[in-house]
Amino acid sequence: MYLQMPKLNDFERVSLLEGPTPIQRLTRLEQCVDGRCALFVKRDDLTGLGGGGNKLRKLEFLLGQARAEGKDTLITVGARQSNHARLTAASAAAVGFHAELVLTRTVAKSDDDYLYNGNPLLDNLFGATIHDLPGDADALAFAEQRARELAGRALVIPAGGSSAIGMLGYASCAEEIVHQEVAMGRYFDKVVVANGSHGTQAGLVAGFKALGHSGSKVQGYTVLSPLAEACSNTLAKAQQVAALLGSDVTASDILIDDSELGPGYGIETASMKAALSLMARRQGLLLDPVYSGKAFAGLLAAINAGKYDGQTLLFVMTGGTPGLFAYRQALA
């Protein structure tokens, strides 16, 4: 019998995914690590809308909230190459909302590829209104002021869609993974994710806890915040989601590694580029340079260090392929 979270049905949801995303085995990559572990990927990059990516899971619940509250506009914030902003614009176009994106130049890159290719190119194609702010601007304050100007017609969505409602999308993903474990006859010792705005890991942790599993089943790699900040923020967010699900999360449920953060958010590292190249050349799959590339580099280092010998691992591929074109010079 499948475990379920009936409280998820208390929240309105707009369908943006085509069904469960597949889990695939990385057989050729297992050879590269001498068969030390069984390695699988959860293909959250294979969502069809807007170029694909994991943020659609959060947006299903966020658009449900906007619809329930009678909104007609979505306003969100992010860095210039935000995958979440792109998918907010695409979701709005698909469902019939207007999208406004407040994008800040927070990453120290000023070449034309970064500023205008990749996600910003697609933001424009989806018809979003873009507010281009400097890196030190308070994007959320700008968004909230813009919402006041729209006299209650807009829902303000935080970075990464990582509000309590939005993060229910990854609690739902935890339920989906448990169902897939049953169907496959496998148990994943660790589910590995990139940790940026904290919502993906927080939602997974809260979801697994609500289903009776340990939250420490999830291993995160921070790509944005210093370790202590990432741990405290992820715990707080996971507790927000758990409260909605009638569950609880403690500090022992939060596992985050900062070994791949490098110089900072959006700044490439040698290990990221090596991991990205290895995945492409051995499996024909595309990681992104900001999130999944760094997280997978961390996972490879841990496997090669013997941390996961004999275990079965699931890496969540979160999408972000358009960002590769913004990093053309760095990846050349």
Together in a domain, 173 and 317: yes
Average pLDDT over residues 110-137: 97
**115 contacts 122 by C-beta, under 8 angstroms:** no
The whole-model pTM stands at: 0.97
DSSP string across 226-283: -HHHHHHHHHHHHHHHHHHHT----GGG-EEE-TT-TTSTT---HHHHHHHHHHHHHH
91 is catalytic: no
Together in a domain, 175 and 155: no
Which one of 109, 144, 161 terminates a domain? 161
pLDDT at 296: 98
C-alpha neighbours within 13 Å on the C-beta side of residue 268: 19
pLDDT at 332: 87
146-185 pLDDT, tens digit per residue, is 999 999 999 999 999 999 999 999 999 999 999 999 999 9
Average pLDDT over residues 221-247: 97
Together in a domain, 155 and 19: no
Q: Please tell me which residue in 82, 91, 162, 197 is annotated as part of the active site.
A: 82
- How far is residue 296's CA from residue 44's CA, in Å, rounded to a whole number? 14
**Does 1 reside within a domain?**
no
**205 contacts 238 by C-beta, under 8 angstroms:** yes
With a CB cutoff of 8 Å and minimum separation 6, the contacts of 120 are 80, 81, 103, 130
Together in a domain, 186 and 303: yes
Average pLDDT over residues 203-225: 97
90-108 pLDDT, tens digit per residue, is 999 999 999 999 999 999 9
Q: Provide the CATH number for the domain around residue 16.
A: 3.40.50.1100
| Number of domains making up the chain | 2
Round the CA-based radius of gyration of the chain to a whole number and report it. 19
Together in a domain, 285 and 192: yes
**42 contacts 314 by C-beta, under 8 angstroms:** yes
Which one of 161, 179, 207 terminates a domain? 161
pLDDT at 1: 43
**Does 93 reside within a domain?**
yes
Confidence of residue 4 (pLDDT cuts 50, 70, 90): confident
Which one of 127, 161, 195 terminates a domain? 161
Find the domain containing 304 and state its range.
6-53+164-331
Together in a domain, 72 and 172: no
The pLDDT > 90 percentage for the chain reads: 98
Confidence of residue 3 (pLDDT cuts 50, 70, 90): confident
With a CB cutoff of 8 Å and minimum separation 6, the contacts of 107 are 79, 80, 81, 114, 135, 265, 266, 267
Average pLDDT over residues 195-199: 97
Residue 121 has pLDDT above 90, yes or no: yes
241-288 pLDDT, tens digit per residue, is 999 999 999 999 999 999 999 999 999 999 999 999 999 999 999 999
Phi, psi of 318 (to 5 degrees): -95, 0
Together in a domain, 168 and 283: yes
Together in a domain, 73 and 209: no
Alpha helices in 39-163 (DSSP H): 55-68, 83-95, 112-116, 119-125, 139-149
Which two three-digit tokens encode residue 223?
Answer: 């790509």
Together in a domain, 228 and 300: yes
- How far is residue 294's CA from residue 170's CA, in Å, rounded to a whole number? 20
Together in a domain, 169 and 148: no
Instruction: Look up residue 12 and give its DSSP letter.
Output: -
The b-or-e profile of 203-226 (16+ CB within 10 A means b, else e) is bbbbbbbbbebebebbbbbbbbbe
The residue type at 325: F
Average pLDDT over residues 48-53: 96
Confidence of residue 2 (pLDDT cuts 50, 70, 90): low
**30 contacts 40 by C-beta, under 8 angstroms:** no
